[in-house]
Structure 1
Amino acid sequence: MANENGAVLFIGCFDFIHDETDEEGTFQIVVEARDVAEAAARCRDRLDEIARTTDILGPVTVYDNAFVEVSRGKLARGVLVNHQRLGDVLVYDYLPTQGLAGDEARFLHDVETNEEESGTVPPFWSGVDVYASKWKLYWCETDDHDEDWFVVARNADDARAFHEDAEGYDEDDARAELVCVLPLAEQAAAEKQGDHWPSDETLLACGAEFLVNVPQDGANELRAAMGSGSRVVRINGRVYGEGDIVGNVLRSQGRPTDA
């Protein structure tokens, strides 16, 4: 049943492939549109918005499968879409028989041609470039663990290079691991600063919790003077300990520490 503007409800059924992990999955978007072309355009707009404002999608490539046209009354009853049967091949039934006569799956491409010529269907949407442009929080560390700390950069290579240059390490001495994408509110400030160490406020915006840590080796005044060595942060359930060059030197000298 169309509304006064002639629009009906479409359920867009999509597959995605993660560009970095090769993880595969499916999702649906419900939109109001007058035809399949308009439904597809609105789905793309929504994916653009989600990619810009959240990190839900990440670097994924999305493929469209079907746009199921469904009446409002039947949608209210609940419509089963993307029914999956697992076996040697993953089989989809976009609109399995469920007593909803009259609804149908519509396609942007020729289904029979696609099945005969695998790989001919172009991606519906890609979030790879949007994800790559975002600023992210990385954890950087080296084998000596003297200066381990967070770095804000667009990618792991940039974070690693910043850490090595700023802390005086040789190329390839550091490792960088993604912690999270910076929240939308932090993106503009990061764009102005470029690669940098995050402020406490930025870490808190990323969900960080600063944990109490007071080393008992008598060297805390020296740590304070050097400005490092005692911060411990928990983000998303993982605990990160700041590099402690003072404690490392004490241990190398065989002096007692709290470890």
Structure 2
Amino acid sequence: MPLASPFHIIAHRGASGYAPENTMASFRRAVDLGATEVETDVAFTRDGELLLFHDETLERTTNGSGLPEDHTLAQLLELDAGSWHDPRLNWDRGYAGEKLITLGQLFAEFGDTLTYHVELKKPMAGLVEAVVACIAEFGLAEQVYLFSIVDEAGLKRAKQLEPLLRIAWAPEELLRTDPTEAVRRCARNNFSMITLNAANQSREIVDLAHSLGLEARSSGISSREKMVAAAELGCNGMTINWPDWLIGYVREQG
């Protein structure tokens, strides 16, 4: 069957299958592979800077410890974000010494050449306003999907602050307990996209999203088999650590 339209090939935290996630190296690697969309995660540092970082704490992917928001940006930039190792990933070279970066640095590097999927990692006072302001500073409102798992209210506020933003929602708990209501509520909120997971998506839910004018993208893609399954369900693309896999698949589909 033909691919859904639009169809998003989104490099998850950059090309994080080949370079350390949420670092400039990972985003540059994604672009080198041909990706035009990237996903990242944003939260505050102690001094109110917009750090790109996924985890609750620093231990897994840096030589630091504790909560990122308990450290200043200057302290965080001293950390090594490229020496950790995950045997499921096949980095293409050594990245010892790679640094963390900010949302502004990402935007300054790539500007309007990319579409950005920016996740609000957790509700934090002033975070929505700061992210929207950063997007506005670089003139990228039409290049950004802003999304969250838990901060539905923050997403609504972001849409009010900047109507040009496209809003995606990943209500993981509601998708587990009442997926139909999750999709319908996403549409009622005037969001643009429901973010599903390889573990809970279905043709029925994807079709419902499309019938309500929503895009339905997939996440949690950890294998080529899951990648193909999501595409065949009619998902509007997906986040993936290996964007070249999906680029190749799309090319094969003509």
Q: Which has the higher strand share?
A: 1
Same fold (TM over 0.5): no
TM-score, normalising length from structure 1? 0.22
TM-score, normalising length from structure 2? 0.22
Structure of greater relative contact order (alpha carbons < 8 Å, 6+ residues apart): 2
Structure of greater Rg? 1
Q: Which has the higher helix share?
A: 2
